[in-house]
A and B are shown apart, each in its own frame.
Chain A
Amino acid sequence: MIFELEKYKTTEVTKVSTWYRAAPVDAFPENGGACIKYKDLQIAIFNFARRKEWYACQNLCPHKMQMALSRGMIGSDADEPKVACPFHKKTFSLKSGKNLNGETCDIATYPIKIEDGYVFVGFEE
């Protein structure tokens, strides 16, 4: 599973070579997340409607290697948008991927954009 973890690498917007058209905007619940599959990656996508923001990160929680983050609750810590893993409530910044409890590894985040009612996630091949 450590190997699984290594599949996910934070991608800078400037390095994106593929914008993957994931799903229509309304497939994602407001102020919550859903998961998409891209090749052998599972990416959690959050429609943070309160902030009019979208985020994408790995679905894999590094704490116990659970495919879970898309099912987590989102929220904010001061102004930092975050997601809490449903398993043990470890929280991660949706912006930087940083583990906000300082107990486990950080997660990879991906650029995201909305065009023509669709959600696109950026990958670097």
Chain B
Amino acid sequence: MTRIAVIGNGMVGYKFCEKLCATSNRKDFQITVFGEETWPAYDRVHLSAYFSGSTADDLIMASKGWYQENQIELLTNELVVHIDREHKKVVSHSGVEVFYDKLILATGSAAFVPPIPGVEKTGVFVYRTLEDLDAIMTYGRKAKSAAVMGGGLLGLEAAKAVMDMGLEAHVIEFAPRLMPRQLDAAGSSILQSKLESLGISIHLSKSTQQINGEEQLTGLQFADGSALAVDMLVVSAGIKPRDELAKACGLEVAARGGVVVNEFLQTTDESIYAIGEVASYKNMIYGLVAPGYEMAAQVVNQLTEAEVKPFFGYDMSTKLKLIGVDVGSFGDPFGDAEPSKPIVFEDKVKGIYKRINIAANGKKLLGGILVGDASAYGMLLQMVQNNMALPPEPEALILGNRGGGEMVGAGVESLPDEAQLCSCENVSKGAICMAIEKDGLTQIADIKACTKAGTGCGGCLPMVNDLLKHQLKVMGKQVKNVLCEHFDYSRQELLDLVKIKKIRTFNQLIDQYGKGDGCEICKPAVASILASTWNELIVKQDTIQDTNDRFLANIQKGGSYSVVPRIPGGEITPDKLIVIGEIAKRYGLYTKITGGQRIDMFGARVDQLPDIWEELINAGFESGHAYGKSLRTVKSCVGTTWCRYGVQDAVSFAIRVEERYRGLRSPHKLKGAVSGCIRECAEAQSKDFGIIATEKGWNLYVCGNGGSKPQHAKLLVTDVDSETCLKYIDRFLMFYIRTAEPLTRTATWLNKLEGGLDYLRDVVVNDSLGIGEELENDMAFMVQTYSCEWKEVVNNPELRAKFKSFVNSDESDPSLEFQEMRGQKIPASWS
């Protein structure tokens, strides 16, 4: 049994454990891991997601349970303070001693803070750990403005984060341009104007001389005599490897910091390895996660006597994430490592800059820079890394092919098998193809599980997806979107079967056309098909519904539910507002105005739902279907009734539209809006169907959405009257319901629809398929058969009885816990 001690439970230290546990020799090792931080290793690369709502738990790479299950002794909150090389022992600050045969140093880096007078003042932060972010968030609540020192990769990420916190954001860079290590002057300047248009102020060529303020920072003083008043400062001026332990025990450290290692990641003591951001190979620290993972894998291979590929350095190509501007820098971005000729494309209006460096002999791509549009990043990087032959007109690589077709020689199929598609997990194209062929994989999820490709930063997923499609085609497999392992049919085919064979239950369908017992993918998909076809009460088949549909309410953190009554068009009488207030008070519910112009009441227990709804229904409310993949809201602005600009009565029409489509089940949720004039206060162009008033009638837009990938709706028809508008929406929605894949919003559906908007207009407006009337009849059936599902439940004792925490007791769930915030209750946080 070899005793292994790992110091540092960061990304690379964790990866080492994961890789070692995955080998067949796992049992030969006893593993102890020391981590200074409170949490087990978390995803530092996506640290900024913490600002946008990810919790520490979401970022954690593996829970403590994982270490337990894999019999790794994980000691968090333990700082190692001493390495005793003679006795092969490490000692922590609390006195824990562990003996090792092999020691792994994975202590990473700390943020580098330049010795500027005043950096110790309150209000100065670094950006490296969850604790740093907590501190920034807490302090930021009282602040109005923040500066970030450092205009590199990390600094810009931090600047975006403070901006998202609602602070006035400044970036201070010492060099005359942003991202000086990745971008040339032209690329930087485009990036700068993009960031400025986002509201970030950029200060270049500024050397900070002093931090102003008494105990608390009030601003920065620069060497050129200028000054900047800010409330807080985030220092992001580079990293400093945590080599202090190594230094103290006599291991060699590099002049610029970092534990010196050879190509086998051995330090000057052969029982001690250093990996990740603390290791210095040929005076170079690799401040990225992919090389760290590679190092971890290599040491695991050595320990398990598997084949070892020496570490000779690593490509430092990077893509900037999060900031809202695409930036990529790959290979030799400046083209100065060997003679080369650049090809440059610049569009100042759109804010796009692309540069590729071609070898002097014209045969090879050496590297390049992409700002504003980095969609070609993956392919270009592959071309550099694999020394691929250039197409005859290399400018096509950044300009696109003028013929309009696919980019020359740049499809994923042209990559060699050795091409490393996923750099985080080091997975080659060949390995993925093999997994597709040998293991018969057909889904991205399977490829992720089987090869780990795409599980790191996720940047390679578009390419992996293309590869999957291509490979399946090559193998002669029909690339068919089957629902899941239980049905060899697409959603559209199943919908046709349900309709033609008059199938009304999930069991009938799976018995006749499927296999096995179903699962969490096909059950809700079939439930949606049945509802869109027969419009029967969905709780009749409650166990095939997603939990929200099963209990007709959205499940919340902690297991309570929310209640959202319909408020068509956002119009509500004072009396009804009072009813909502009274009910919320009586049941102790948290209330919030939603983004959809209505009111959400949160924190109801499952057994309270029927009582609450009974009261709401008695007061004239009905279900708002906030829980269903169905029509949510039709937003409206006040229109002609009040607004001095309005040209049509937007509220009346919105209410009419909302009441027409309420309860309509569909492949994904549906949202609509009606604006009373071109000023568009109802944001109709961000909806699945949006209606904007004109002098002559209505303009109808379709297939827009907000969400994580916003897309503007497209204009379908102009100046139609109300009846025609409804007719086209009927056809459009039914056509979507019939043909979309499960959980596909209208925007994504349109993007994939062959023929695009023109085709859709042909079907809906010109009735090119001759199904217009049929679609309208289908919709008429849905409208006629609508009933409020909560009303049915409330009045049906048998259905009501299903809303209980326990079937053997009338107790309510004792695990529901709430705390208070601003005078209302909220769920106790995720544990």
Cross-chain pairs A/B with CB under 8 angstroms, 18 sampled: A23-B808, A27-B807, A34-B807, A35-B807, A42-B815, A50-B517, A64-B830, A67-B559, A68-B559, A71-B551, A73-B519, A73-B524, A73-B544, A73-B546, A78-B485, A84-B520, A86-B546, A87-B555
Task: Name the 10 nearest CB pairs between A and B, nearest first.
Answer: A32-B543, A75-B519, A86-B547, A1-B831, A84-B520, A105-B65, A76-B517, A27-B807, A36-B808, A23-B808
CA distance A27 to B806 in the complex (A): 10
B759 interface hit (Cβ, 8 Å): no
**B595 in the interface, Cβ–Cβ < 8 Å?**
no
A-B contact number at CB 8 A: 117
Say how far B523's CB is from chain A's closest CB, in angstroms. 5
- If A1-B831, A75-B520 are given as contacts, then 10 extra A-B residue pairs at C-beta distance below 8 Å, sorted by A number, are A28-B807, A35-B806, A35-B807, A36-B808, A37-B808, A67-B813, A67-B815, A68-B547, A75-B522, A104-B66
Q: Does B516 contact A (CB under 8 A)?
A: yes
Residues of A within 8 A of B723 (CB): none
A27 nearest in chain B by CB position: B807
Residue contact B558 to A66, C-beta cutoff 8 Å? yes
Query: For A105, what are the chain B residues with a Cβ–Cβ distance below 8 Å?
Result: 63, 65-66, 69
Instruction: Give the docked Cα–Cα distance between A25 and B796 (Å).
Output: 21
User: Taking the nearest CB of chain A, how far is it from the CB of B692, in angstroms?
Assistant: 38
Least distance between B792 CB and chain A CB atoms (Å): 17
A81 near B517 with CB under 8 A, answer yes
B-contact bits for A61-100, CB 8 A (1 contact / 0 none): 0101111100111111111011010110101000000000
Query: What does the 1/0 interface line of B492-532 toward A look like (CB < 8 Å)?
Result: 00000000000000010000000011111011100000000
Q: Note all chain A residues with C-beta closer than 8 A to B522.
A: 75
> Smallest Cβ distance from B74 to chain A, in angstroms?
13
Task: Using CB atoms, name the residue of chain A closest to B815.
Answer: A67
Given the known inter-chain contacts A37-B808, A76-B516, please indicate yes or no for A65 contacting B547, CB distance below 8 A: no
Q: Which of B65, B555, B558, B559 contacts A62 (CB 8 A)?
A: B65
Residue of A4, A32, A51, A106 near B542 (CB, 8 A) is A32
Count of chain B residues with a beta carbon within 8 Å of a chain A beta carbon: 40
B784 interface hit (Cβ, 8 Å): no
* Complex alpha-carbon distance, A28 and B808, angstroms: 11
- B550 and A71 contact, CB distance less than 8 A: yes
- B721 contacts the other chain (Cβ, under 8 Å)? no
Contact flag A77-B519 (CB < 8 Å), given A36-B808, A50-B507, A104-B63? yes
B360 → A minimal CB distance (Å): 50
A48 at the interface (CB under 8 A from B): yes
Q: Give the distance to chain A from B558, nearest Cβ to Cβ, in Å.
A: 7
A residues adjacent to B (C-beta < 8 A)? 1-2, 4-5, 22-23, 27-37, 42, 45, 48, 50-51, 62, 64-68, 71-79, 81-82, 84, 86-87, 89, 91, 101-102, 104-106
Let me know if B64 is at the binding interface, CB within 8 A.
Answer: yes
| A48 to B518 CA separation, bound complex (whole angstroms) | 11
Q: How far is the CB of A121 from chain B (nearest CB, A)?
A: 10
Residue of A nearest to B524 (CB): A73
Min CB–CB distance A23 → chain B (angstroms) = 4
B-chain residues with CB within 8 Å of residue A65 when the two chains form the complex: 830-831
Bound CA span A32–B555, Å = 17
CB-CB < 8 A to B516: which residues of A?
A: 75-76, 78-79
Max chain B C-beta neighbours (<10 A), residue from A32, A33, A75, A86: A75
* Set of chain A residues within 8 Å of B802, measured between Cβ atoms: 29
Q: Which residues of B contact A76 (CB under 8 A)?
A: 486, 516-519
Q: Is B86 an interface residue (CB 8 A)?
A: no
> Chain B residues with Cβ under 8 A from A29's Cβ?
542-543, 802
Given A29-B802, A86-B555, A104 and B807 contact (CB-CB distance below 8 Å): no
Q: Are B520 and A91 interface neighbours, CB within 8 A?
A: yes
Specify the chain A residue showing the minimal Cβ separation from B69.
A105
B449 touches A (CB below 8 Å): yes
Are A75 and B543 in contact, with the CB atoms below 8 A?
no
Interface residues of B in 317-333 (CB under 8 A from A): none
Interface: B611 (CB within 8 A): no
B519 touches which one: A37, A82, A106 (CB < 8 A)? A82
Least Cβ distance of B556 to chain A in Å?
10
Q: How far is the CB of A103 from chain B (nearest CB, A)?
A: 8
Which has the most chain A C-beta neighbours within 10 Å: B449, B555, B806? B806
Find B518's partner among A33, A71, A75, A89 (CB 8 Å cutoff): A75
Chain A residues, Cβ within 8 Å of B557: 64, 66
CB distance from B162 to the nearest CB of A (A): 29
B831 CB contact (under 8 Å) in A23, A28, A64, A101: A64
Question: In whole angstroms, what is the CA distance A23 to B806 when docked?
Answer: 10
Whole-angstrom distance between the Cβ of B412 and the nearest chain A Cβ: 27
Q: Once bound together, how far apart are the Cα atoms of A111 and B148, in whole Å? A: 59
Q: What is the distance, in angstroms, from A116's C-beta to the closest C-beta of chain B?
A: 16
Give Cα A79 to B517, complex, Å. Answer: 9
- Chain A residue numbers with a CB within 8 Å of B518 are 50, 75-76
> Taking CB as reference atom, which chain A residue is nearest B547?
A86
Contact B520 A89 (CB under 8 A): yes
Asked if A37 and B65 sit within 8 Å, CB to CB, the answer is: no
A78–B544 Cα distance when bound, in Å, is 19
Q: Give CA–CA (A17, B547) in the complex, Å.
A: 34
User: Which residues of B are found within 8 Å of A33, using beta-carbon distances?
Assistant: 543
CA of A74 to CA of B558, assembled, Å: 21
Q: Tell me if B28 counts as interface (CB < 8 A to partner A).
A: no
CB of B805 within 8 A of chain A?
yes
Name the A residues within 8 Å of B269 (CB-CB).
none
Chain A residues, Cβ within 8 Å of B559:
66-68
In the complex, the chain A residue whose C-beta lies closest to that of B511 is A50
CB distance from B527 to the nearest CB of A (A): 10
Q: How far is the CB of A45 from chain B (nearest CB, A)?
A: 8
Nearest A-chain residue to B809, judged by Cβ: A37
Q: A86-B547, A104-B65 are in contact. Are A75 and B523 (CB under 8 A)?
A: yes
Nearest CB on A from B805, distance (A): 7
B582 at the interface (CB under 8 A from A): no
Smallest distance from the beta carbon of B444 to chain A beta carbons, Å?
Answer: 14
Nearest B-chain residue to A53, judged by Cβ = B517
B546 to chain A, nearest CB (A): 7
In whole angstroms, what is the CA distance A45 to B486 when docked?
Answer: 24
How many angstroms between the C-alpha atoms of A89 and B555 in the bound complex?
A: 13
**Residues of B contacting A81 with CB < 8 Å?**
517
User: Which residues of B lie under 8 Å from residue A36 when comparing CB positions?
Assistant: 806-809
**Which partner residue on chain B sits nearest A38 by CB separation?**
B808
Q: Name the residue on B nearest A35 (C-beta).
A: B806
B830 touching A2, Cβ below 8 Å: no
A-side contacts of B486, CB under 8 Å: 75-76
Residues on the B chain within 8 Å of A27, using CB = 807-808
The A-contacting residues of B in range 789-815, CB under 8 angstroms, are: 802, 805-809, 811, 813, 815
B131 within 8 A of A: no
Q: How far is the CA of A33 from the CA of B69 in the complex (A)?
A: 28
B57: interface (CB < 8 Å): yes
Q: How far is the CB of B40 from chain A (nearest CB, A)?
A: 12
B491 nearest CB across to chain A (Å):
17
CA distance A64 to B65 in the complex (A): 12
A78–B66 Cα distance when bound, in Å, is 25
Contacts of A51 in B (CB 8 A): 517
- How close is B535's CB to chain A, nearest CB, in angstroms? 22
A115 to B16, CA, bound (A): 51
A54 to chain B, nearest CB (A): 14
Interface mask (B25-63 → A, CB under 8 Å = 1, otherwise 0) = 000000000000000000000000000000001000001
> Could you tell me the distance between the alpha carbons of A2 and B64 in the complex, rounded to whole angstroms?
10
Name which residue of chain B comes closest to A106, CB basis. B69
The reply to whether A72 and B517 contact each other, CB–CB distance below 8 Å, is no
Selected from A23, A37, A75, the residue in CB contact (under 8 A) with B811 is A37
Q: How far is the CB of B651 from chain A (nearest CB, A)?
A: 37
Q: Known contacts A66-B559, A102-B449, A104-B65; decide if A73 and B806 are in contact (CB<8 Å).
A: no
Interface centre among A62, A73, A89, A91 (most CB of B within 10 A): A73
Q: Which residues of A contact B805 (CB under 8 A)?
A: 35, 37
Query: How far is A28 from B804 in the complex, measured between Cα atoms in Å?
Result: 12
